[in-house]
Chains A and B, each alone.
Chain A
Amino acid sequence: GAVVSQHPSWVICKSGTSVKIECRSLDFQATTMFWYRQFPKQSLMLMATSNEGSKATYEQGVEKDKFLINHASLTLSTLTVTSAHPEDSSFYICSTRFAGETQYFGPGTRLLVL
């Protein structure tokens, strides 16, 4: 399977600040990565599809100006939560697609906005 890392694991920030989360594919080149969000006691929801060298595709209801995605290389995608507010507090998880359809997930980043 594929190995995916995320950094940071935890982040606490003040309301109004921006936070960048990195997702790395450690053992293969990923042209496509995905970003999901999970609120407590809920399921994962797809936020956006990140494509290397092109603009991300956002799911309905996800503000592209608030959640900036950059996929500048085949091993790194970043999600920046701009002007974060308490309602953005969540568990953010990225994934890559390896060997066809199978998706492998990173360990996630917990964001707490005070």
Chain B
Amino acid sequence: GIQVEQSPPDLILQEGANSTLRCNFSDSVNNLQWFHQNPWGQLINLFYIPSGTKQNGRLSATTVATERYSLLYISSSQTTDSGVYFCAVRSPGGGADGLTFGKGTHLIIQP
């Protein structure tokens, strides 16, 4: 099946800093989503972005499908941005209808 690798695994930043999270995947995808998992476990949809660039406030994401990677940018970080960020994909030839998740990036924003 498709492989998803996220980096870095852990990231500690000061409030106000910018960050870039990376997601590499091993096959073509027809779905790529970024999620933020809050401390209670809820997965919050950030972006549906199998290709192209999107922005939502301080967050933006870019997926270069031909090179099989996606980037999530967080600008002017706030303590509430802390949590685990997951990239998840679905490959059209992968068989499974659901999403394959990366291991996540654990982000800690210090005041």
Contact = CB atoms under 8 A, between A and B. Distances in A.
Interface stretch (A13-21, A22-30, A44-52, A81-89): A44-52
B45 A1 contact: yes
Given A34-B97, A46-B98, A101-B90, A93 B43 contact: yes
Scoring A38, A42, A104, A105 by chain B CB atoms within 10 A of each residue's CB, the highest score goes to A105
B26 interface: no
Given A93-B43, A105-B43, A108-B41, A45 B30 contact: no
Interface string B72-91: 00000000000000101010
Contacts of A107: 40-42
B97 A57 contact: yes
A102 B33 contact: yes
A101 B45 contact: no
Contacts of A101: 30-31, 48, 50, 90
Contact of B100 (A32, A38, A46, A93): A46
Interface stretch (B14-22, B62-70, B101-109): B101-109
Contacts of B103: 42-43
Nearest to B97: A49
A110 B41 CA distance: 9
Nearest to B106: A41
A57 B97 CA distance: 9
Contacts of B50: 101
24 contacts: A1-B45, A36-B98, A43-B103, A46-B96, A46-B100, A49-B96, A49-B98, A57-B97, A59-B98, A91-B41, A93-B41, A95-B98, A95-B99, A101-B31, A101-B48, A101-B50, A101-B90, A102-B45, A103-B31, A105-B35, A105-B43, A105-B45, A107-B42, A108-B42
Interface of A: 1, 32, 34, 36, 38, 42-46, 49, 57, 59, 91, 93, 95, 101-105, 107-108, 110
Interface of B: 30-31, 33, 35, 40-43, 45, 48, 50, 86, 88, 90, 96-104
In the A-B complex, the 6 residue pairs with the closest CB atoms? A46-B98, A105-B43, A101-B31, A34-B98, A102-B48, A43-B101
